[in-house]
Amino acid sequence: MSQLSNPPPPPARNGTWVLQGIVAAAFFAAGSAKLAGADYMVELFNDIGVGQWFRYVTGTVEVAGALALVAPGLIWLGGLGLGTTMIFAVLTHVYVLHTSPVPAIVLGSLDALIVYLRRDEIASFVRILAKFL
């Protein structure tokens, strides 16, 4: 009798995909508003004070991350990138804008849940990367 020492991870449940779709839609909408130059986004980035170029960078990261969240094989990358973005969004709301960080915390927490649920993919990537280093 043979035993598998490392059985494959269970497939993701439909709920994970639904969560990824919802979070991806939220990031896609926010990133698109930034890239389209929505008045409130232009004003927000004026208040941040680093220039409008940063609005384009942030919008690009959000749209790319949203697309990655629904692309098998890239979910982990989108989740980590968007999570990093949300950490800086919370810090910006608290220390620069002096506004409520709650929306960023909620979206960041949902993104962190996706990363947690997809942790096996991250571990697999790290193992593959370690072979090349």
Question: Can you give the pLDDT at residue 63?
Answer: 98
User: With the C-alpha atoms ordered 85, 91, 95, 101, is the resulting torsion angle positive or negative?
Assistant: positive
Separation of alpha carbons 83 and 87, rounded Å: 6
Question: Can you give the pLDDT at residue 133?
Answer: 82
Q: What's the token pair of residue 13?
A: 């449940």
Contact 67, 24 (CB under 8 A): yes
Residue 100 main-chain phi, psi, to 5 deg: -70, 130
Q: Please report, rounded to a whole number, the percentage of residues in the chain having pLDDT higher than 70.
A: 90
For the chain, the domains span 14-132
Question: Can you give the pLDDT at residue 14?
Answer: 72
- What is the per-residue pLDDT across 9-18, written as a single tens digit (0 to 9) for each? 555 567 889 9
- What is the per-residue pLDDT across 78-111, written as a single tens digit (0 to 9) for each? 999 999 999 999 999 999 999 999 999 999 999 9
> Structure pTM?
0.84
Tell me the pLDDT band of 35, cut-offs 50, 70 and 90: very high
